[in-house]
Amino acid sequence: MDIPRIPVGKTIEAGIDFLVEHCSFATRAFSDVLDTGLDIVQTGMLALPPWLFIIIVSLLTWRLARSKRIALFSIAGLLLIWNMGLWKATVSTISLVIVSTLMALMIGVPTGILAAMSKYVNKTVMPVLDVMQTMPAFVYLIPAIPFFGLGKVAAIFSTVIFAMPPAIRFTCLGIQQVPKELIECSEAFGSTRWQRLVKLELPLATPTIMAGVNQTVMLSLSMVVIAAMIGAKGLGGEVWKAIQRLQMGKGFEAGIGIVIVAIIMDRVLQKVGSRKQ
């Protein structure tokens, strides 16, 4: 008995092909622009001598997290990375993470706000988020290539998609959690919807939104590493190389570098987030 196969894959492929055919001129152009921007960020960061960069980062973590321990850890961790010869790769990864996080937040936070304000937006966005979060991360890499070509921009694209859901969810949740009586109060005093958002909901949602930001950063980092497969280079690229050549030591060194970057970012963001309360 032959049941005809439903052409799920084929249909999606056709859809994407169609999009590629008609949009790729735009996405390619966008890709070029973003590539240049990214290069500037990266070259700028590399222009600093590593020791100066390390001092700046540790001062920054110290100021932001108000914790000596985290600052000391940053110094030690970054020195180790420098020592292992992974400096350039690390800077590349950090700049990728920064750019993709910013983009994910720029799209995610406003979307989250809209989803909190409108039932319809909410009903449309939430199922999409479910799909985005359960879809294996690798799958995003495939369509990224035809749109943006191999390389960093494709990596950023898939990273943004992968890392955005928590930003949307947490923003929406934070706003929805604002106590009803406070909303009543702002209404009673005649606030406009915008005033209510800016003066009440966003400030109260900030800790929750910061938790979302933290997750977005962590997801960006993990995706940037995976995106090494489509030419993102950086620390992920080092791991990828090590896998292909079966160099266990190199692989672990790059892995440790990633862990160090992740810990610094996570602690700083956590401290910043909880301080807002």
Q: How many helices (H) and strands (E) does the chain have?
A: 12, 0
Return the range that interacts with another protein (CB under 8 A); candidates 9-17, 73-81, 191-199, 225-233: 191-199
Return the range that interacts with another protein (CB under 8 A); candidates 51-59, 81-89, 107-115, 198-206: 198-206
Nearest-approach distance from CB 176 to another protein, in angstroms: 17
Q: How many residues bind another protein (CB under 8 A)?
A: 16
Nearest 5°: CA angle at 233, between 231 and 236? 105
On the CB side of 41, CA atoms within 13 Å amount to: 17
Task: Identify the sign of the CA torsion 241, 246, 244, 161.
Answer: negative
Nearer to another protein, 110 or 203 (CB): 203
- Verify binding: residue 194, another protein, rule CB under 8 A: no
On the CB side of 20, CA atoms within 13 Å amount to: 14
Burial class (CB in 10 A: 0-12, 13-18, 19+), 183: middle
Return the range that interacts with another protein (CB under 8 A); candidates 6-14, 152-160, 188-196, 217-225: 188-196
Nearest-approach distance from CB 188 to another protein, in angstroms: 4
Choice from 190, 244, 246, 249 touching another protein (CB under 8 A): 190
- Verify binding: residue 185, another protein, rule CB under 8 A: yes
- Verify binding: residue 11, another protein, rule CB under 8 A: no
- Verify binding: residue 181, another protein, rule CB under 8 A: yes
Under 8 Å CB-to-CB from 182, ≥6 apart: which residues?
200, 204
Cα–Cα distances in Å, from 193 out to 184, 198, 200? 12, 9, 10
- Verify binding: residue 197, another protein, rule CB under 8 A: no
Q: How far is residue 123's CA from residue 115's CA, in Å, rounded to a whole number? A: 8
Burial class (CB in 10 A: 0-12, 13-18, 19+), 130: exposed
Q: How far is residue 48's CA from residue 95's CA, in Å, rounded to a whole number? A: 14
Nearer to another protein, 2 or 181 (CB): 181
Choice from 134, 189, 244, 246 touching another protein (CB under 8 A): 189
Nearer to another protein, 21 or 184 (CB): 184
Choice from 11, 83, 192, 274 touching another protein (CB under 8 A): 192
Choice from 1, 131, 188, 246 touching another protein (CB under 8 A): 188
Token couple for 181: 């009586």
Choice from 203, 248, 274, 275 touching another protein (CB under 8 A): 203
Binding site for another protein (CB under 8 A): 181-182, 184-192, 195, 199-200, 203-204
